[in-house]
Every structure is written in structure tokens, then in C-alpha cells.
Amino acid sequence: MDYISTRDSGHRVSAAQAIVSGLSPDGGLFLPESLPQFSLSEIETMAKTGYAGRAVAVLSRFLTDFSEDELREYVSRAYAPEKFPPKAVAPVVPLDENAHILELFHGPTCAFKDFALQLLPFLLTASLRKTGCDKTVVILVATSGDTGKAALEGFADVPGAKICVFYPDGGTSNIQRLQMTTQAGENVMVFAAEGNFDDAQNGVKRIFTDRAYAEELAGKGYILSSANSINWGRLVPQIAYYFSAYCELLNAGRIKPGDPVNVVVPTGNFGNILAAYFAKHCGLPVGKLVCASNRNNVLTDFITTGTYDRNRGFYVTTSPSMDILISSNLERLLYLLCGRDDKVLRGYMEALAKTGKYTVGPDVLAKLQSEFAAGCADDAATAAAIRDVYRETGYLCDTHTAVAVNVYRDYAAKTGDRTPTVIASTASPFKFANSVLPAAFGRAADGGDFALLAKLAELSGQPAPRALAGLQDKTERFTAKVEPAKMKEAVSGWLGL
């Protein structure tokens, strides 16, 4: 199966090439030329296997230049028992009669991004071999917090790879920052970038589209690639867990084969919810896709009005991994919604670059609204959701998940939609203990991060994940700051060019 660029439908590459390049040279994102279809009986067969079997079934239909044996090996190493709990890689926990939480935070960095970023190093290094490239791959990552750590953890000491992460200075939680700045590995680098996530992401995008720089690097034996969710290799592993969630609901007798389920996703860069959209269009019985935002509600406005407008205030919230005003992956959805018309898509993207906004046509808006519902929750509503869910059910959710729960409850109340629902839980509550503790238990969040972790463990009766509690014994290795305009120089300096 070939992949094409959203900005030039004539530009075709293999899956391996798409994974190596990350972004298309024309600035577009890669998409499969068509979507593989899964029948109900194939889904029922998947339900009889474990997570690895489901992941291989999905990946092998998208990554046709990889053999099933290769994929099986990568999947078994990425989701190995020392990284994910073997029987509960992506468990589904009932919340009430209709709603279920899909827990995606049991990997090594306690956030859902591990699903993609534990697998990506295998996919990427194999893709380099398949495309005949013998260069050292340099991964550049802009992170709002969780991607950076998950990518560092995935790529640390991977032969033939180096990784450099930029996080917004002051834009992450302290625990998120420590997870990155204490990262081990000979091939890793971390910078605090001045500005917010969008500034960091734009800085990385500028480096990727700088052809002269790419040539300079090539001359020194380096090739740039991305571990951000603009890379197809990041998205495709995420499609698998929506299939897995459906299988779990089948196995638990919560649904019958063919019953539709709604999916609610706390959204930032639009990657995770796009994976759910792909799952739906590959034949998974999905009803509404509910897009949940925090106070940075640019997506809610877009889905409600058809106008995407990033000219607005940027807020630092208690769900920092969703503090984003430019949702890069939306480009992939728009391309599909406008019938794979690259000219129309380029018009939107040029308007976004020039004026910070665009408005889609009425037919695109109608399609968008037939598939997606949207809502947003500010910090107060998020805290209230954590409190209410904990009081009513004893379930402790993190701030990002709570945004989704709040939006789901509003949606269900407003529409009366009683469809069985999967709410993606994207992070462990311990990762955001400073917000979860006061919300769930009315305790002041003072006394330092590790005291908060211990307090949350004591009050909830759940142990704090070792990956987080263990940070207090580690030393910070990376403290350098950089201006967004100087990111290229920072990369060169680190590589010793």
C-alpha cells in the first residue's frame, strides 16, 4: 500500500519512506492511499487473541512493506512484560452503565504515547534499512510534555539513532519535566524552549522544511526524522487500541458483535482521536467521535462552526498536554473530508499560515459534524469531574481524562445518546498529582512533587507508579534553554557540526 501527501496527491511513497521522512517535503502529512477494511468476523477473531495479536492484525494491513514476522517481533518487544503489564496492556474499565475507561497509561512513562513510541524505534530503524539509508537518524521532537519522555524512553541507546527534545519552558508539570531532564542514554538531548508548545512545534517544523540544512546534515551522515504525531509511524499503532477496546467490550459481554460504540478522546494535536476515526473507517463499529478540549478550545469551535481560528489567547491549564492551538493532525482529517482534494486543502493551510484561520465549506462542515461532536472543559469543570467520578465510583482519573469525562457527561445529557462509550484515558492520575489531589480529596497541593505522589497513593489506596516515584533519586542531566529562533543552532551544537 502506498502513502500520499495531503498537499500533493501525486506524491506517493512506501510506508517505510513515509515513516523515515515524517513530514512530506511539500509540508504535507502522509496518509494511506486507501483504508484497509476489517470484517466483523475478523474483529471477532481479534477478540480471541491478546493485545499483541490485535496490534499485528491492524499494523500488517497498513504497513504492507513489513512482513508479519517482522511486525510480530517488534510488537512483542515494544509491549513486552517488562514494559506493560502482560494481561492488561490496554484494559477497559466500566465507569457506569454506558461509559468505559480505556486505560492507556500502563506503559513505561504512564501516558498513552508509549503505545506509539515504544514501537516507533523498531519501525523507524527497519524503515531506514528498507529504504537503503545508512545514515544516523536524528529524531527531533517538540513536546507539550508526554511525547518528549515517551520518545526519549523509546529511542534511548537505540543504535543508529539520536534524539533531541524541545519542551516549552514552564509549560509542563514538574514531574513531566523531571521525566525528561533525568533521561539516561548516550544519544539523547533535551532543551527547554522559550515560549509555548506551538512555538516549539513551529521551530521543529522550520528545521524539517529547511532543505539546505537537510543537505548539510546529509553531508555529515545524518538524516532528520520526527517522532511527533505527524509521523505515520506514530499514528498507526494507536489505531490498534481502539480495535482492542472493542474486543474487550465484546469479551466482557458489554456489547454484541456489530453494536456501535462512541469514542471520547481528550484532544490536543488531534492524533489520538484521528486514530479512532481511522479505526471507524476501517470497519470498526464506531458511532460518534467526541472531541474533548480544555480551555484551549480551538477544536470545539471548529467542529461547532466550521471556522478554525488560532488567533486567541493561549492558556496554561491543568491538562498541559492539550495546551495546543495548532492541531497538526487535523490536516489529515480535512484532506479526507474534502474528498482528497489537495488543492482545497492547500488553500486552508495557506490561509492558516497567513492569517491564522480558515473556514471550511458547508459540505465539509456537514461531514465533520456527522462524525464528530465536541465540547470543552475549563480547569474548574475538570476538577469537578475528577471529584464527582471519584465520589460516585471510586475511580481516580487524571486531568486529561477528566476533561473527556466532563465533555462526555455534557454530551450524553444534551443528546440523550445512550450508546456504549469508550473514554480514552491518556495518563495516570499520579502524573498530575498536584491537580488530582486537591480535586479528589480537597487537599492543598503543597509539600513538593514526591510528597504529593505519596499522599495521593495513601489517600487513594493505589501505589504510585515506580517510574514516577523513582524520579526523586535521579539527577537532572539537561538544563539548557533555547529561543525558538535558535533551535537549529542548538541541534547543530549538540551534533558537533
Ligand X SMILES: *Cc1c(COP(=O)(O)O)cnc(C)c1O
Nearer Cβ to ligand X (118/321) = 321
**By CB under 6 A, residue 226 contacts ligand X:** no
DSSP conformation letters of 257-320? TT--EEEEEE-SSSHHHHHHHHHHHTT--EEEEEEEE-S--HHHHHHHHSEEE--S-----SSG
Q: How many helices (H) and strands (E) does the chain have?
A: 22, 16
Nearer Cβ to ligand X (228/244) = 228
CB 51 within 8 A of CB 90: yes
Would you state the cell numbers that stand for residue 360, as one nine-digit string? 471550511
**By CB under 6 A, residue 272 contacts ligand X:** yes
Backbone angles phi, psi at 164, to 5 degrees: -130, 125
* Binding piece for ligand X, criterion CB under 6 A, among 40-48, 265-273, 309-317, 463-471: 265-273
CB 97 to ligand X: min, Å: 25
User: Hey, how many other C-beta atoms are within 10 angstroms of the C-beta on 26?
Assistant: 13
Closest CA to 452 of 425, 424, 471: 471
Nearer Cβ to ligand X (146/449) = 146
Residue 10 is given by DSSP the state E
CB 175 to ligand X: min, Å: 12
CB 397 to ligand X: min, Å: 11
Distance, in Å, from the CA atom of 173 to the CA atom of 145, rounded to the nearest integer, reads 8
Which residue type does 147 have? T
Q: Which of 229, 231, 296, 317 binds ligand X (CB under 6 A)?
A: 229
Give the binding-site size for ligand X (rule: CB under 6 A).
16
Q: Which of 48, 83, 87, 113 is catalytic?
A: 113
Quick note: the x/- pattern for ligand X over 98-137, rule CB under 6 A, is -------------x-x------------------------
Distance, in Å, from the CA atom of 178 to the CA atom of 188, rounded to the nearest integer, reads 15
Torsion (CA) 117, 36, 74, 14 in degrees, nearest 10: -80
Q: Which of 267, 296, 318, 435 binds ligand X (CB under 6 A)?
A: 267
Distance, in Å, from the CA atom of 457 to the CA atom of 463, rounded to the nearest integer, reads 5
Q: Which of 237, 271, 429, 465 binds ligand X (CB under 6 A)?
A: 271
CB 69 to ligand X: min, Å: 30
Nearer Cβ to ligand X (426/435) = 426
Distance, in Å, from the CA atom of 182 to the CA atom of 187, rounded to the nearest integer, reads 13
The question of whether 474 is a catalytic residue gets the answer: no
**By CB under 6 A, residue 142 contacts ligand X:** no
CB 404 to ligand X: min, Å: 9
Nearer Cβ to ligand X (195/271) = 271
Nearer Cβ to ligand X (17/181) = 181
End-to-end alpha carbon distance in the chain = 38
CB 134 to ligand X: min, Å: 32
Active site residues: 113
In the complex, the residues that contact ligand X under the rule CB under 6 A are: 111, 113, 146, 229, 266-272, 321-322, 400, 426-427
